[in-house]
């Protein structure tokens, strides 16, 4: 309902001002973080044929796949996503 939605809206920030005062990401810091990518086979937002490019160009070291998940894997395949996130965290 519209009244509920309006009552739940809270001001937020996109951190643009905060980021404008920071130095760019560096290989020493950002580059040292392990990256994981979960390929989603039914993704209409980031098509499966584009996902390998993202993997190759962003330093991903761990790749998992949920063939029948869409872009919102946390909604379409929450149990599979949860299991992969637990595996990645180990």
Using one digit for the tens of pLDDT, what is the confidence trace for 68-79? 999 999 999 999
Residue 23 DSSP one-character state: P
Q: Is the pLDDT of residue 19 over 70?
A: no
Task: Indicate if the alpha-carbon torsion angle 60, 80, 83, 72 is positive or negative.
Answer: positive
Contacts of 5 (CB under 8 A, 6+ apart): none
Q: Residues 39, 63: contact at Cβ < 8 Å?
A: yes
Residue 67: is its pLDDT beyond 90?
yes
In percent, the amount of the chain with pLDDT more than 90 equals: 57
Look at residue 7 in the predicted model and tell me its pLDDT.
86
Per-residue pLDDT at 44 exceeds 80: yes
Cα–Cα distance measured from residue 29 to residue 68, given in angstroms and rounded to the nearest whole number: 34
User: What sign has the CA pseudo-torsion 45, 50, 54, 60?
Assistant: positive
Tokens matching residue 66: 């949920």
Q: Please tell me the predicted confidence (pLDDT) of residue 2.
A: 86
**Measured between alpha carbons, how far is 42 from 14 in angstroms, rounded to an integer?**
29
**Model confidence pLDDT, tens digit, residues 5-14:** 888 887 766 6
Q: For residue 81, name the pLDDT band (cuts at 50, 70, 90).
A: very high
């Amino acid at each position: 309902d519209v009244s509920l939605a309006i009552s739940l809206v809270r001001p937020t920030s996109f951190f643009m001002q905060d980021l404008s005062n920071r130095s760019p990401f560096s290989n020493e810091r950002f580059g040292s973080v392990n990256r994981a990518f979960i390929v989603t086979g039914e993704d209409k937002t980031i098509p499966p044929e584009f996902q390998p490019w993202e993997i190759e160009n962003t330093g991903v070291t761990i790749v998992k796949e949920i063939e029948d998940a869409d872009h919102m894997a946390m909604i379409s395949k929450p149990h599979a996503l949860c299991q992969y996130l637990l595996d990645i965290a180990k």
